[in-house]
Structure 1
Amino acid sequence: MRKILITAILILVCVNTFAQNMMQSQYGSSASGLSSDRYDRNGNPIDTTAVVDASTVPIGLSSWTIDERFGTRTAIPVDTLQFGFQNTNDNGGPTGHYTYLGNLGSPRISHVFFERAETTQEFFTDPYDFALVTPGKVKYTNTKSPFTNLTYYKHGAGRRAEERFKAYFAVNANKRLGFGFDIDYIYGRGKYMNQSTAQFNGNLFAYYHGDKYEMHFNFINDNIRVTENGGIADDRYVTAPIEMADGGRVYKSYEIQTNLEDIWNKNTGYHAFLTHRYNLGFYKDESTENDTIAKEVFVPVTSFIHTVKVDMNTRQYISYNDEQNRKYFENHYLGTDSTDVTKYMSVKNTVGISLREGFNKWAKAGLTAFLSFEHRRFSMTDSIEGTPGQYMRDYKENVLSVGGQLTKAQGKTLHYDVLGEVAILGEDIGQFNIEGRGDLNFRLFNDTVRLDVNAYIKNLNPAFYYRHFHSKHYWWDNDLSMITRTKIEGRLSIDRWRTQLQAGVENITNYTYLDNVSVGYTDANDANIKTYKNNVTVRQNPGSIQVFSAKLRQDFKFGILHLDNEIVYQKSSNNSVLPLPDLVLYHNLYIRAGLAKKVLTVELGADVRYFTQYYAPDYAPAIGQFYLQNPETKYKLGGYPLVNGYINLHLKRTRFFLMMYNLVQGTGERSYFFAPHYPLNPRGLKIGISWNFFD
């Protein structure tokens, strides 16, 4: 870890120095900013009307993400966040919405149903969204001076420490062309036995913004290696440690016996993405603010769009302890020494033509028509041990779909985006998606109120690995029906009152999920004792399931004292198939003050994460997915307040925090378990530091 950290810092320093010299040569020292969102060297907003000192390096800085279908840009804040830095490396999410296995970088699933993403064709990496980046999440930056961010986190010390190092670099070659890279390295050694995680993820990006030609490109590489321990052998090591000590010393976390050892899940992914467009339009003169100088501005009328996305993933399940496997898993299809490998590849092209919004007074909305073609290929084992015939098989799927989009993004009062798509040929024929979102802004009591609405109706073909999957311990080939999902949700935001109220309802027909199907084995000496081994399959609920959810965020401020609150209420109409906690809570009490003439910002406080008891999903180590608990042995988890105390400091370009994690360790009926047999990390010290460099 130290070698990687030192090497990365040296590389960034060298690249940054070179880029700074190049930028000064390209722009000169008196150039103005590229964007109205300008920041000084400390990351603070500056007056854009002020005269720039010719002796300084200009800091024009803006960031955005793009839509994966059309490459449309969405502005995002520059990474100069002062508030909440202590929660930016929490595997459970900044407000504690996720069930996870305790270790940093471990798989996770949200307690809040409306935050659960749909299962993708990259099935095995879906639970690792904590660290993985998709093309739509890549952050592009336009900067007058090279921008670098280095961030380091650590939890604990010694052989059981968790560490994470992140590096981000962006530079412009000129006003229109920029590029950079992002590195994210996670090494969670694990507070418990056989639990380590290692992730090395990175991406390269580039963009060009011309009047007539625009382009965004990124290349992402994922490397995920997770040791699977099947959970601890007996929950009482955590819930009743004195009882398990049997008069001796209490076991430390890394001394507790686990169900599995010498088992790994490894995922390697490569993702290339390019979206570009050619604009037809005209130039017109536009006066500046002082109305004395006319500037020629290009007005796009029509855009021709092309997007290509290539995804490849190799998932490998590695196990060496056959005796332990046979005790834990119910089925063993491929033998002891076999290789359990699954591969996925997809190439998707989208072409479209867009009539741009606002090119004249009659163009009140933008209209886009598009066509997409996707080729998918899956490779996996096709015969069980001892069966003659083909050992590996390729499954090929092709999908042709058409669609359209209507958008209004200009103006201050009303905005909307409506998109429809239908598959007309191929494996997903009949699949369709109609979704829309909009916002209305109006004045109320001398404040601006924002009403956001989003809705969709979808008819979806279940992901390939729900339909077919062959491996060492799980094997299925299913003829599944289309999944129909209908949802409507609204959100009311009043900034002056620090209030946000959100509510929605969703109906799902043919809900598709992973279930525990172990039959149980009767003990030879006692017919009343049954042993249940691990076995997973796919099921569909033939009827409809409704989920209602409401969320209130209400923050209070009394001088330097702050209290931030989030309350989520949700209800599932079928808790046997889709169990959810009724309440998910987050509360943060802290003081915030500026010291040393407000150069130093200090936050000191404690927060708590809590969800009510429910039958939390179990975890299947052979595929790295969450599934329903066995109905014969299931038990409720939750009702545990996860409390963290922290101090968060921000000084010019540097952010730093100290946190004591899991302060009330050991309380509650089930103590600090979020997933069955997977306790959270015990009490420990976390630290984090982040530097921003603007030159």
Structure 2
Amino acid sequence: MYRKLSTLIFALLALTKASAQTDRQYNQIDEDGTVTRRSENFNKHNKDTTQHKEIPKGIYAWTIDRRFGDVIPAEPDTLPHLFMNTTFNSGFYGEYNTTGNNYTARMSRIFIDRPFGEYFTFTEPYSFVNKKPDEFLFMNTLSPYTQILYDNCGDKTNGEDHIDAKFGVNVNKRFNIGFDLDYAYARGYYSNQSTSHFSGTLFSSYLGDRYQMHFFFNAAHQKTAENGGITDDNYVTHPESFTDNYTESEIPTVLSKNWNRNDHQHVYLSHRYNLGFYRKVKMTDEEIKARKFAQESQQEHNAKKEHDEMGSRDARNKDIKKPTGRPTGAMVMGKEPKKDSLNIAADTTRIKINGQAAIDSLNRLQAIQDSIDATMKREYVPVTSFIHTLDIDNYDHIYQSYYTPTDYYKNTYYKQGLELGNDSIYDQAKHFRIKNTLGVALLEGFNKYVKAGLKGFVSYDYCTYSMPEMDSNSNLYWEKWNEYDLSIGGQLSKTQGKTLHFDLQAETWVSGADKGDYTIDFSTDLNFPLFGDTVQLAASAYLYKCYPVFFQAKQHSKHFWWDEDLDRETRTRIEGTFSYQKTDTKLRVALENLSNYTYYGMSYDLTENGGRKNMTAGIYQESDDIRVMTAQLHQNFRLGPLNWENVITYQNSSNKDVLPLPDWNLFSNLYLKFRIAKVLGVELGADATYFSKYYAPDFCPGINQFAVQKNEASRVELGGYPFVDVYANMTLKGVRFFLVMSNVVNGGGNHMKFLTPHYPTNGSVLHFGVSWPFFN
């Protein structure tokens, strides 16, 4: 394994030999890993191969709007704070429930952060490792950039290994290409729970004045072994009740030789052509400094080059014997003729300057003009854009099993599988989707009276779905369903300026399977100064009325089979956010109403020996409205090197049997932040996650979904105990690395933790990770 990782790293480093050019605003990565905004021209000595060149270190990073491909500025993935938490699928603030092992399926305990409307439901639980074009960081770089992330824990028997390598290079100042390779493997401390995920991504962007393009291709293979949880929670909650001592790997699990597999590929292309005009605008102070620095550097370079050329010429002249006597004809012909003052005076086309006062006046005017030109830049102002976006997704899901306990499933819909024998399971589902969107945009900013941008679009969506089907004689065959959708919509937005921004989007489906669906999204923010800092008041709201997706309405497999005629689900939400930088405070309040809420539910009985029987699962809709209220406070404190970071979330669900949520979810991080020898940045501390008791969703491997516990006789409560990690998070010259001991409050008994019923988390485990950026 380590030999393969070393080979991969050296192969990536060998690719960083190209040069790059751009003149954008860039994020300078400092020695402590922080990001500083600056302007920079591309490698100013790119033609000078005779002197040592300082490699410019800077990245301009952004995400995109998936529908239109709009550029949304973002920070590069170089921030050191809580770096170790980015490697855990339990979330940055520990807000996700998982099935114990890293990189497994997960679900957020914060309802307003859960995704909605994913077409292929089988990959939704793997949001931690999925790559999406609207979440991916595109980049422009001042020099070829490579970032290697590696983290691991444990050993070859039960540990984890994760490596992520990202490379980006600019062909010129507008065109960037790169790739991202991500491999995550966790063997698991309990039996039959290993995970293996591989993802490869190619990306490219071109940001010209008239033409802009973003390209994204991703191929992923995901494989997870399913153990169905341990047979008896007492193995970890009350180990004293057993005569023998069991290690984690010796504790029996419900399932063995069961796997969920996902293979999926994605192609995304968004490009546009802008119509507009050029104008001169005043540069910012940073841009003026950058231009001056570039000019001075170029002058120094030219002077050195001229000096070197003169030295070389003098050396050559010493080797040439001086001519004697009369010069040759060629030398006479090469002599410069004497200037005739009479001819100059006779030139009537020249401007006559009478007197020193006139000369001084012209010099002053020229100096003023030069001063103005030095602070101006030529800017292209787009007025209208023609946009095309292509989205292609291809999915293949398999649930496979070579062994199933007796009476584990309540229902069996067919005996002989399509691929395997009677005793095996080979449930397969496929999905292909191609979506084209054409849009026209009237852009804001081309005129002082135009305060907002306006876009209109039309989308055509073609989908195919494939699953097993049975005929009237109960014979199994492979069936394919085709659907299409035609939708239209628009966007009104204001993104420029510092005080007020807003974005209103609406879409309605006018033809196809989802005819009559509609979505409306609105967001706005107001920024104003208060006591020497900035206050931001933000608000958002949406109204969705949409049919559940295909794979919620249909499930065809050996032990789970349904064809439901589901009603449209209606969701409305109003959310407000208050942020004040001076006190490091952020308050978020949201109210949501759900009609025809659609959810998964599962049920089983417990056997005398701790196993499961009569397992069943299905899709449900709640006819009564459900109301969810959420209040979330981010509050940080600092006293010298001591820092205390807190995220407190309160939630209230009006129907906890259908939508169970913890009333309280807390994250607290207490740490010391300091520097050693002025070069090593250190965060030394501990973070804790806590949520109140509630009937957390169980996990059903057969449908690869978290599902509400429907059987009151077997359902269990989780929560009411802390998860504590102790860590040292450090940065040296842009290199980030950490050591963290997870679950230190884990002394056995009732302190053992569960995030999903019957799926215990790992015990105290030491993790190590490093992220190393290379500029070359």
Q: TM-score scaled to structure 2, two decimals?
A: 0.84
Query: CA 1:511 to 1:100, structure 2 compared with 1: closer, same or farther past 3 Å?
Result: same
The 1:255–1:360 alpha-carbon spacing in structure 2 relative to 1, beyond 3 Å, is same
**How many Å separate the matches in 2 of 1:543 and 1:511?**
8
Native 8 Å contact 1:67 1:73 kept in 2: yes
Q: Compute the displacement of 1:39 (Å).
A: 3.9
- Aligned residue among 385, 389, 413 for 1:307: 389
Report the Cα distance in structure 2 between the residues aligned to 1:436 and 1:171, rounded to whole angstroms.
36
1:95 aligns with 2:181: no
> Would you say how many aligned residue pairs link Structure 1 and Structure 2?
673
Paired letter, 1:260? L
Q: Distance in 2 between matches of 1:656 and 1:295?
A: 41
Query: For residue 743 of structure 2, what is the aligned residue in structure 1?
Result: 662
Corresponding position of 2:686? 606
**Contact 2:438–2:458 (CA<8 Å) still a contact in 1?**
yes
SS of the residue aligned with 1:685? Answer: strand
C-alpha contact (below 8 Å) 2:601/2:707 kept by paired residues: yes
Shift of 1:40: 5.3
Higher mean C-alpha deviation, range 362-371 or range 46-55: 46-55
**What residue in structure 1 maps to residue 295 of structure 2?**
none
Max Rg structure? 2
Mapping of residues 359-370 of structure 1, within 5 Å: 359-370=446-457
Contact 2:393–2:433 (Cα < 8 Å) also in 1? yes
Alignment correspondent of 2:540? 454
Is there any run of 5+ residues in structure 1 with no aligned partner, and where? 524-528
Aligned-residue Cα RMSD (Å) equals: 2.2
**Alpha-carbon distance between aligned partners in 2 of 1:48 and 1:614, rounded to the nearest angstrom:** 49
**Higher RCO (Cα < 8 Å, 6 or more apart):** 2
Write the distance in 2 (CA, Å) between the matches of 1:291 and 1:36.
25
CA contact (8 A) 2:23 2:173 kept: no
Is 1:479 matched with 2:565? yes
Kindly indicate whether residue 465 of structure 2 is the aligned counterpart of residue 371 of structure 1: no
Given that 2:23 and 2:40 are in contact with CA atoms closer than 8 Å, whether structure 1 keeps it comes out as no
Q: Cα–Cα, structure 1 residues 671 and 533, in superposed 2: closer, same or farther, change >3 Å?
A: farther
Q: Name the counterpart of 2:646.
A: 565
Measure the CA separation in 2 of the matches of 1:144 and 1:521: 61
Distance, in Å, in 2 between the alignment partners of 1:42 and 1:10 is: 25
Question: Which residue of structure 2 aligns with residue 68 of structure 1?
Answer: 66
> C-alpha offsets along residues 633-675 of structure 1, whole Å, 9 cap, x if unaligned?
1121011200011111110121111111101114674730111
Tell me what 2:763 maps to: 682
Q: Following the alignment from structure 1 to structure 2, what is the Cα–Cα distance between the partners of residues 59 and 572?
A: 49
For residue 159 of structure 1, give the secondary structure of its aligned residue in structure 2. coil
SS of the residue aligned with 1:114? helix
Runs of 4+, deviation exceeding 6 Å = 49-53
Give the aligned partner of residue 265 of structure 2: 270
Distance 1:411 1:584, change over 3 A: same
CA contact (8 A) 1:34 1:60 kept: no
Query: Residues 3 and 472 from structure 1, CA distance in 2 versus in 1: closer, same or farther, beyond 3 angstroms?
Result: farther
1:122 aligns with 2:120: yes
Q: 1:219 to 1:291 in 2, by over 3 A?
A: same
Q: 1:638–1:670: 8 Å Cα contact kept in structure 2? A: no
Q: Give distance in 2, aligned partners of 1:4 and 1:536.
A: 42
Paired residue type of 2:696: A
Query: Offset of 1:227 from its aligned partner?
Result: 0.3
Instruction: State yes or no: 1:549 paired with 2:630.
Output: yes
- Residues 1:616 and 2:702 aligned together: no
Q: Equivalent of 2:402, from 293, 316, 320? A: 320
Deviation at residue 79 of structure 1 after TM alignment? 2.2
**Matched residue, 2:10:** 10
Letter in 2 for 1:15: L
- Displacement after TM superposition at 1:283 (Å): 1.3
The CA distance in 2 between the partners of 1:463 and 1:50, in whole Å, is 48
2:150 matches 1:152: yes
State the one-letter code of the partner of 1:565. N
Cα distance per residue 1:36-63 (max 9 Å; x no partner): 5344577555684799996312234210
CA gap of 1:531–1:224, structure 2 versus 1, over 3 A, is closer
Paired with 1:546 and 1:92, the residues of 2 have a C-alpha distance of 26
Q: Which runs of 5+ in 2 are unaligned?
A: 46-52, 289-370, 416-421
The superposition leaves residues 521-579 of structure 1 with CA deviations (integer Å, 9 ceiling, x where unpaired) of 999xxxxx997521101110011000000001111111101111110000000011001
Matched, 1:431 2:517: yes
- Aligned-partner SS, 1:170: strand
Matched, 1:382 2:469: yes
The residue correspondences of 1:385-534 to structure 2 (distance < 5 A) are 387-389=473-475, 391-518=477-604, 532-534=613-615
Return the letter of the residue paired with 1:35.
Q
Letter in 2 for 1:317: Y
Confirm or deny that 1:576 pairs with 2:571: no
Q: CA separation in 1, counterparts of 2:212 and 2:94?
A: 39
Query: 2: distance between equivalents of 1:606 and 1:257?
Result: 33
2:115 alignment partner, SS class: coil
Tell me the distance in 1 between the aligned counterparts of 2:562 and 2:526.
48
Q: Residues 172-191 of structure 1: matches in 2 within 5 Å?
A: 172-191=170-189
Shift of 1:678: 0.1
Aligned equivalents of 1:508, 1:271: Cα separation in 2? 31
SS in 1 for 2:9: helix
Hey, what does 2:225 align to over in structure 1? Answer: 227
Specify the SS of the correspondent of 1:106.
Answer: coil
| Conserved? CA contact 1:312–1:344, under 8 Å | yes
- Indicate if the aligned counterparts of 1:674 and 1:680 stay in contact, CA closer than 8 A: yes
What SS does the corresponding residue of 1:486 show, helix, strand or coil?
A: strand
After superposition, residues 13-162 of structure 1 pair within 5 angstroms as 13-16=13-16, 18-19=17-18, 22-23=19-20, 27=21, 33-39=23-29, 44-45=34-35, 48=38, 55-162=53-160
Deviation track 1:495-519 (CA, whole Å, cap 9, x = no partner) reads 110111110100000000111255x
